Structure 1
Amino acid sequence: MPSNFLADRPQRRRPPGRHRGILLTALAAVLGLLLAACGGSATSSGGTQNTLIIGMTASDIPVLDTGLAQGQGYEGLRFVANQLYDGLTKFDLTQGNQIPKIVPDLATSWEPNADLTSWTFHLRPNVTFHDGTPWNADAAIFNLQRYTDKASPNFYQELNAQGGLSVQGIKNYSKIDDLTLRINTNGPWSYLPTDLATVYFGSPTAIKAEGNQGFAEKPVGTGPFKFESVQRGQRLVMDRNENYWNGAPKVDKVILRPIPDPTARVAALRSGEVNWIEVPPPDDVPNLRNQGFQVLTNSYNHIWPWVYNLTKPPFNNPTVREALNWAINRQSLVDNILKGTAEPALGFVPHADAAYRTGNDVYGYDPAKAKQLLAQAGYPNGFTMTLSYPTSGSGNMVPTPMNTALQADLAAVGVTVQLKPIEWAAMLNDFFVGRIPDDANALNISLSYQQEGFWRSWFGTGSGPNAGKYSNPKVDALLQQAKTVLDPTARSDIYAQIAAILGKDSPWLVVVNDRNPRVLASTVHGFVEPQSWFADLTQLSVGGSSSNS
């Protein structure tokens, strides 16, 4: 169990000969077990009852600068950046039965020019940063300079690198008036409002006063929660913003606890140290539900693949790549290891994506067909390959048992897989510059198309994060076409065409789509599990007695 789990639990020494003290200690232990069985309150760690305490899968508190929370994967963006900051746009996370749409945030509306190369954003009036300074076009331009303008003294290379997927097509921007901003792009960009949902805005006054490194330790945004304190490796404390432009959150305080070990996360939940955990060990899910905890899942835009290295044998051969997609038993993985917390991925698009079409579910489980394809490709006796995979991390579920099961499936068709574990943050460093760690034949990583620009990132020729070096001129042409089509439904048809091509080219071993499992104490009320990796923490509250006690 990691040290952070016990960091703030005082060690008590029992006075000798004090039977009354022994009795009280025993009673307290019994009470603690009862609280755990009822979903626990976690009030001891929060200071107040109405405190949400989240056990994250991250190994550390993500960096707190605007956008740089991606240092621990998107775990940082959803739990840090989305709480402290706002973007021009955001995903509507208030519904659980539909794919989230893009809605206004710091911009109230927007419109493009005729050829989709220039967008005008009308900014929300009467919004202030947490330090009381105003949100306006000048503040927006200052932040965009940090992200994109290498000639500006405000430019911040680390922010540019992390936000690059969302800002790399921005040409320039200008202030029309205090509440009107224009963004010009390098060519048509029909889905710019979607990609801007994770471009966040910090207080220029605070950034200038603290500098980039100082601001990362004392962040100031416009978001629903305000920074209170941070202990690296231990916790981040955020208080609700009473003056939030969209209404103060219902919960008083949010505390983030990095607990990368899944067993330790469950122990923290049961003991009342936290009242929300991400990615419970699947074997624990039935028991947690029986104990009165809320076990929540929902489809969302997520895929868990192996990204093949297409630059060298054997995976430069598409028949080999297809063969492995017929060799794995996805349903067994979902039933026996993931216990229903994921769905089999039979194609390249998750069900909770507008581009999903049943006709693009092209794979299945057929070991005989896999062997036939391997023989056809010139590998009748199989081959040996290496897989680089993270041992934990944002959206990766339970990667070691999952990859061990896949290793056994592939061994049955003659493919020997050597597993090469790597720390999550180290893998991200390689992946986002287009490298597969350890020169492996493939890497396993959690990915999404939630922002439309990710289609180009994962499959576009020459894209930095296209670590497998996939390239198909037809896909490139469709990606470019999508940038010229304003209607989102029509764009989804284009992505469905791309998915059909990917199903033939098989650049990945597609395995499962996560259902985003999390477990909440019964005292957490009002949370909506959206069809998204992100979550809205503003409408929930913590407190009250458990009806399951």
Structure 2
Amino acid sequence: MTKHRRLGLRRGLAAASAATLMSIGLAACGDDDSSSGSNASGELRVVLNAQPATLDPIVGPRSGQIVWATVIEPLVDTDENLDPTDTGLITGWERTDDTTWTFTVRDGVTFSNGEPADAEAVVNTLELTRDTEASILKSYWTNVTSIEAPDATTVVLKTTTPQYNIPNQLGTVYLVPPEYYEKEGPEGFAAAPVGTGPYLFDGQRAGRDMTVVVNDDYWGEAPTNEKITFSWSTEAAQRLALLQSGSADVAFDLPPTQQDEAESAGLEVVTAESAIKIVAFLQTDKAPFDDPKMAEAAALAVDRDQIVDGIFDGKAVADGGLLNMKPGETPAEQVDADPEAAKALVGNAKVEVPISYPAGQYTNIEEVAQAMGGMLEEAGFKVSYNAVDYGTLVTQVVGRELNGIYLLAGVPNVAVPDFFASGFMKTVSISGNCPDPKIDAMVAEALEQPDAEASAPIYEELNTIGVVEKHCYIPLYRQLYAYATTDDVEGIDYSPLNAVDFTDATIG
């Protein structure tokens, strides 16, 4: 059977859940043998930077999928070029007319609780994604008018207007069992998720860790390890210490300082340019940035190259575009720093700017916020800081409670520009910080093109309007994501979309 999960690039929208992330001190330290000392054969012990907000893929931000995607699978797999493939739960598709897509569902797959993972299950998951009020992907599916299953292996989806990227979007929709999800609801499902994946959820110790074990009845190729235990610590130094002490096998999300320390300690360090992009969002429908002159001044004040060089020691990639999705892609136009021009625009105005950011959520994010604040103060702004947990910040963003600037990571769950255009640029979107009927119309126009190539010029123009003309967004950098392992760990597969495939991982 084809190994379908290699480079399963399906993770990470970093913006939307009301749940509050929790962190603890020595997250991996417990009373059993799995949390300290040498590792038992077949168990992979992974330390994350934060506990997932939820394990429910319908309502949860994609930052949690590093855990849940071991158990719950997306409808469509993607290849090393980030394009959809036929190797997953959906094995084929045809655009039968401009507004109709027909999908073929893999035959004979069941959820681990015995429910059939058939076309009806796909329809149910898509309807939950479109219709659930708290759905994280709700805004991406408003164009879908009907979803039907004429038989057990066929799904027919119709849209109001043409939409070329439906197969891409299915790469971030995770299939849930209809009866179990209805019975348990989001909270019950998150406490004990059920899926079709290569692992089974084996339980959790509240605030400490979560464990998955091999699914012996998995429809695809079996994992090479037997068990994964996920723990977490918001302190990078502590994640590294757990690895050095033998209490963990893998430590994710290491900043430059800890990367250097890990290499000095003889640990294996892996870095990869991520599609994750840290962006400063300006709330342009509220003071002070409802004044276009002040928004332009803020954009001109921020020097992204200085942030990359000074904070990340070059271990990040400055990126001034919003809708260039894949590593290596660059925007046609961007805003470059001009501190003197920024000062001239601010003049003698007494403009207060709060900077909100998710404490501990992203590598060195506090230093980034402080650096931005210093640059804004040099331009004449008066800056305050609002450091909150990630869940609270997202609640404030979605509730339109913020003004000024907030920092969030844009994580393209699928590598098409609409994921950011619909997610961040439309008036009705996750951020909604740049309301403009012209932008709304252009986002719709881009989707109506026959394919990605035809839509590309529209997305370039959208990037220019949002970033260069209206200054709603100050793109900063792509992260060079880094993790470290002990020297006896092999086979972890990290992809540019913050996807991690553990099924080939071996220990010892």
TM-score of the aligned structures, taking structure 1 as reference length: 0.80
Unaligned runs of 5+ in 2: 1-22
CA-CA distance at 1:106 after TM superposition: 0.9
1:388 pairs with 2:356: yes
1:57 pairs with 2:49: yes
CA-CA distance at 1:211 after TM superposition: 5.2
The one-letter amino acid of 1:364's match is D
Q: Which residue of 532, 536, 544 corresponds with 2:497?
A: 532
Matched position secondary structure for 2:195: coil
Cα distance, 1:506–1:426 mapped onto 2, change above 3 Å: same
Cα distance per residue 1:441-460 (max 9 Å; x no partner): 12111113443333122111
CA-CA distance at 1:76 after TM superposition: 0.6
The one-letter amino acid of 2:335's match is Y
The one-letter amino acid of 2:368's match is M
Structure 2 Cα separation of the partners of residues 260 and 181 of structure 1: 42
CA-CA distance at 1:120 after TM superposition: 0.7
Range that drifts further, 312-321 or 525-534: 312-321
The one-letter amino acid of 1:410's match is L
Cα distance per residue 1:143-196 (max 9 Å; x no partner): 3344345xxxxxx654xx223144333222111211111112232221111222
The CA RMSD measured in Å over matched residues stands at 2.7
The 8 Å contact of residues 92 and 105 in structure 2, kept in 1 or not, is answered as yes
Cα distance, 1:387–1:250 mapped onto 2, change above 3 Å: same
**Counterpart in the other structure of 1:512:** 477
The 8 Å contact of residues 24 and 207 in structure 2, kept in 1 or not, is answered as no
Cα distance per residue 1:286-306 (max 9 Å; x no partner): 121222223222223222122
Matched position secondary structure for 1:201: coil
Cα distance, 1:443–1:284 mapped onto 2, change above 3 Å: same
Q: Which residue of 456, 463, 473 corresponds with 2:422?
A: 456
CA-CA distance at 1:61 after TM superposition: 4.1
Matched position secondary structure for 1:298: strand
Range that drifts further, 43-52 or 232-241: 43-52
**Counterpart in the other structure of 1:221:** 195
The 8 Å contact of residues 28 and 242 in structure 2, kept in 1 or not, is answered as no
Alignment length (residue pairs): 481
- For 1:94-113, what aligned pairs fall within 5 Å after superposition? 95=80, 99-104=81-86, 105-113=88-96
Structure 1 Cα separation of the partners of residues 324 and 331 of structure 2: 10
Cα distance, 1:486–1:466 mapped onto 2, change above 3 Å: same
Unaligned runs of 5+ in 1: 12-41, 150-155, 544-549
CA-CA distance at 1:279 after TM superposition: 2.0
Structure 2 Cα separation of the partners of residues 492 and 536 of structure 1: 30
Structure 2 Cα separation of the partners of residues 387 and 181 of structure 1: 45
**Counterpart in the other structure of 2:332:** 359
**Counterpart in the other structure of 1:338:** 312
The 8 Å contact of residues 305 and 510 in structure 1, kept in 2 or not, is answered as yes
Structure 1 Cα separation of the partners of residues 38 and 130 of structure 2: 39
Range that drifts further, 530-539 or 363-372: 363-372
Q: Which residue of 175, 199, 206 corresponds with 1:201?
A: 175
Cα distance, 1:208–1:533 mapped onto 2, change above 3 Å: same
**Counterpart in the other structure of 1:74:** 62
Matched position secondary structure for 2:238: helix
Structure 2 Cα separation of the partners of residues 417 and 430 of structure 1: 19
- For 1:449-528, what aligned pairs fall within 5 Å after superposition? 449-451=412-414, 452-460=418-426, 462-471=427-436, 473=438, 475-502=439-466, 503-528=468-493
The 8 Å contact of residues 343 and 378 in structure 2, kept in 1 or not, is answered as no
**Counterpart in the other structure of 1:14:** none
CA-CA distance at 1:138 after TM superposition: 2.3
The 8 Å contact of residues 89 and 106 in structure 2, kept in 1 or not, is answered as yes
- For 1:23-62, what aligned pairs fall within 5 Å after superposition? 44=36, 48-58=40-50, 60-62=51-53
Larger % of helix: which?
Answer: 1
The one-letter amino acid of 1:525's match is E
CA-CA distance at 1:6 after TM superposition: 5.8
Structure 1 runs, 4 residues or longer, greater than 4 Å off:
42-47, 208-212
1:444 pairs with 2:429: no
CA-CA distance at 1:333 after TM superposition: 1.8
Cα distance, 1:145–1:507 mapped onto 2, change above 3 Å: closer
**Counterpart in the other structure of 1:5:** 27
The one-letter amino acid of 1:139's match is A
Point out the structure with max Rg over C-alpha. 1
1:144 pairs with 2:130: no
**Counterpart in the other structure of 1:266:** 240
CA-CA distance at 1:507 after TM superposition: 0.8
Structure 2 Cα separation of the partners of residues 406 and 163 of structure 1: 30
CA-CA distance at 1:276 after TM superposition: 1.9
The one-letter amino acid of 1:442's match is I
- For 1:124-163, what aligned pairs fall within 5 Å after superposition? 124-148=106-130, 157-158=133-134, 161-163=135-137
Matched position secondary structure for 1:539: coil
Structure 1 Cα separation of the partners of residues 323 and 185 of structure 2: 42
**Counterpart in the other structure of 1:91:** 78
Structure 2 Cα separation of the partners of residues 214 and 346 of structure 1: 41
1:371 pairs with 2:343: yes
Cα distance per residue 1:104-144 (max 9 Å; x no partner): 321100112321x2211101112121123322122223333
- For 1:303-342, what aligned pairs fall within 5 Å after superposition? 303-342=277-316
The one-letter amino acid of 1:540's match is A
Cα distance, 1:205–1:540 mapped onto 2, change above 3 Å: same
CA-CA distance at 1:413 after TM superposition: 2.1
Cα distance, 1:512–1:213 mapped onto 2, change above 3 Å: closer
The 8 Å contact of residues 61 and 257 in structure 1, kept in 2 or not, is answered as no
Cα distance per residue 1:293-336 (max 9 Å; x no partner): 23222223222122112123331233332222232232232122
Structure 1 Cα separation of the partners of residues 437 and 275 of structure 2: 23
Indicate the percent of aligned positions where both proteins have the same amino acid: 22
Structure 2 Cα separation of the partners of residues 165 and 267 of structure 1: 41
Cα distance per residue 1:5-63 (max 9 Å; x no partner): 2640579xxxxxxxxxxxxxxxxxxxxxxxxxxxxxx88479632322222222x3442
CA-CA distance at 1:495 after TM superposition: 1.6
**Counterpart in the other structure of 1:19:** none
The 8 Å contact of residues 288 and 352 in structure 2, kept in 1 or not, is answered as no
The one-letter amino acid of 1:106's match is L
**Counterpart in the other structure of 1:425:** 391
The 8 Å contact of residues 87 and 106 in structure 1, kept in 2 or not, is answered as yes
Cα distance, 1:251–1:495 mapped onto 2, change above 3 Å: farther
Structure 2 Cα separation of the partners of residues 441 and 62 of structure 1: 26
